[in-house]
Amino acid sequence: MTVEFTLDRVEFVALNGGPQFKFTEAISFSVNCETQDEIDYFWEKLSADGGSTGRCGWLKDKFGLSWQVNPVFLGDMLADPDAGKANRVMKAMMEMDKIDIAALEKAAQRMTVEG
């Protein structure tokens, strides 16, 4: 009823609780990527063979498990002390399915004309 495995030196235990327990977004994995090539690779591999893609870097694999594929620096961009920059990055990300690093960087650099 259980399986133990290690991913990137982190130990996990998975439990088969029976058919009454389904996958939900409450259980998900995050893949932190350094480059757009890595994002593209994991996005394609994880959503292949019956998986589905969603917004903001989220997808489900062919088993229905949720994953978020995002750049390692996304958290820093969203927590930038410049609230305008952080808000622009968040707005850009909310309009994406697969994360586009160049588009996030462009949103972070864009200056508002207002004010």
CATH of the domain at 77: 3.10.180.10
Residue 15 has what pLDDT? 81
Q: Is residue 89 one of the residues assigned to a domain?
A: yes
Residue 41 has what pLDDT? 97
Q: Name the pLDDT band for 27 (thresholds 50, 70, 90).
A: confident
Q: Is residue 19 one of the residues assigned to a domain?
A: no
Q: Is residue 16 one of the residues assigned to a domain?
A: no
Rounded to whole angstroms, how far apart are CA atoms 35 and 17?
A: 37
Residue 55's nearest CA partner among 86, 109, 91 is 91
Neighbours of 40 (CB within 10 A): 15
55-87 pLDDT, tens digit per residue, is 999 999 999 999 999 999 999 999 999 999 999
CA distances to 36, 57, 86, 108 from 79, in Å: 21, 18, 6, 12
Q: Name the pLDDT band for 18 (thresholds 50, 70, 90).
A: confident
CA distances to 33, 78, 106 from 112, in Å: 29, 17, 12
Q: Is residue 85 one of the residues assigned to a domain?
A: yes
For range 42-62, the mean pLDDT: 96
Which residues span the domain enclosing 84?
A: 24-109
Rounded to whole angstroms, how far apart are CA atoms 47 and 44?
A: 5
Q: How many domains does the chain have?
A: 1
pTM of the complete model: 0.79
Residue that wins the pLDDT comparison between 13 and 58 = 58
Q: Name the pLDDT band for 113 (thresholds 50, 70, 90).
A: very low
- Which residues sit opposite 53 in a β-bridge? 59
Residue 77 has what pLDDT? 95
